[in-house]
Amino acid sequence: MTTTAPTKTTLPTSSSTPLADRSPASTPVPVTDVPAVVDETARLLTEHYVFPDVAEQLAALLRRRLAEGAYDVASAEELGGLVTADLQSVNTDLHLRLKYHPEQVPQGQGEAALAAMRHDFDASLGGVPRVQLLEGGTALLELAPALFPLSWSAEPLAAALTLVARADALILDLRGNGGGDPDTVAFVCSYLLDERTHLNTMYAREGDRYDQSWSLPHVPGARFGGTKPVYVLTAPRTFSAAEELAYDLQQLGRATVVGETTRGGAHPREGWTVHPNLEATIPVGRSINPVSRTNWEGTGVLPDVPCPAPDALDRALTLIHG
């Protein structure tokens, strides 16, 4: 018996660039006030970046590069690429970007990211493009291209997770997942655990506070539970909140991670529109796993069973059935 959604997300195997970041060839979007864009990006860095000392270094670097003429370009996309390369030059933080959006995005904190995600949500059945019963009572659940905000995705996720609850084993495919909402991570984990469990702690620069993330005591529908086998498939495309989902389950000893090392972004970020097509994305916190006392920033999530990402599903099935 097979239950498969009509749309299927294709796993990129040779690129780590999220699909939403790619745009067809078109007339370049102009940027007419480069100094204002760079200065605002530098200001936001010093105000919000989780590592204040690094923020000061980067702000000085951006202003020096501006004065040197390094950003003398007419295209918003080109400016975004140049500034992003400089932002990531000190500590290789992949969440730290001047992100170009092909379509104009709204003003306001976080609005650009939500606008960019909405189309992907609608086109992927709410982030659950594939639910399938495989041989031997194993369920395959693909979550892609993102772990969308829980206010959007709770219903499709609850339906899919309830559907696979009766399977003997579960394969969670995150190979094409580029990140999303930490609350959604906790929601998914809640279906795979029996007891309320501490999953992660997030340090936030604002207020110098620590916020804990726990699995939920109650979930809509049926749980898969905390004892049956779970395998998580990963790839170089797996990023951010998708990495947290793999890492949390791995550190708890709840899942076996199969595939390739993930991209390595553990810092939650906020975004500010600094030009109609440019968003300054700045990490405002850092993850602290309660088991490892660290996170996957810069290293990625290391698989328990390394193999090429396209072979990960077959490898997981072999591990389940021998």
Enter the CATH code of domain 124-265+300-321.
3.90.226.10
pLDDT at 3: 37
pLDDT 10s per residue in the chain (322 long)? 333 333 332 333 333 334 344 444 468 999 999 999 999 999 999 999 999 999 999 999 999 999 999 999 999 999 999 999 999 999 999 999 999 999 888 887 778 778 778 889 999 999 999 999 998 999 999 999 999 999 999 999 999 999 999 999 999 999 999 999 999 999 999 999 999 999 999 999 999 999 999 999 999 999 999 999 999 999 999 999 999 999 999 999 999 999 999 999 999 999 999 999 999 999 999 999 999 999 999 999 999 999 999 999 999 999 999 8
Domain ranges of the chain: 29-111, 124-265+300-321
Rounded to whole angstroms, the Cα distance separating 303 from 175 reads 12
Taking the CA atoms of 123, 191, 303 and 298 in sequence, report the sign of the dihedral they define.
Answer: positive
Q: What is the pLDDT of residue 26?
A: 66
pLDDT value for 116? 76
Q: Which of 318, 312, 320 has its CA nearest to residue 235?
A: 312
Contact 173, 140 (CB under 8 A): yes
Give the three-state DSSP class for 313.
Answer: helix
**Secondary structure E strands in the chain:** 97-100, 130-133, 138-142, 169-173, 198-204, 209-214, 230-234, 256-259, 269-275, 278-283, 285-288, 305-306
Which residues neighbour 171 within 8 Å (Cβ) at sequence distance 6 or greater? 134, 138, 139, 140, 141, 230, 231, 232, 233, 313, 316, 317, 320
Q: Concatenate the DSSP letters of all residues of 136-199 into one string.
A: GGEEEEE--S-B--HHHHHHHHHHHHHHGGGSSEEEEE-TT---B-HHHHHHHHHTT-SS--EE
CA atoms within 13 A of residue 145's CA, in its CB half-sphere:
22
Dmax of the chain from CA atoms? 64
Closest CA to 245 of 199, 291, 210: 199
Residue type, 11: L
Return the SS3 of 80. Answer: helix
What is the rounded CA–CA span in Å between residue 50 and residue 94?
Answer: 14
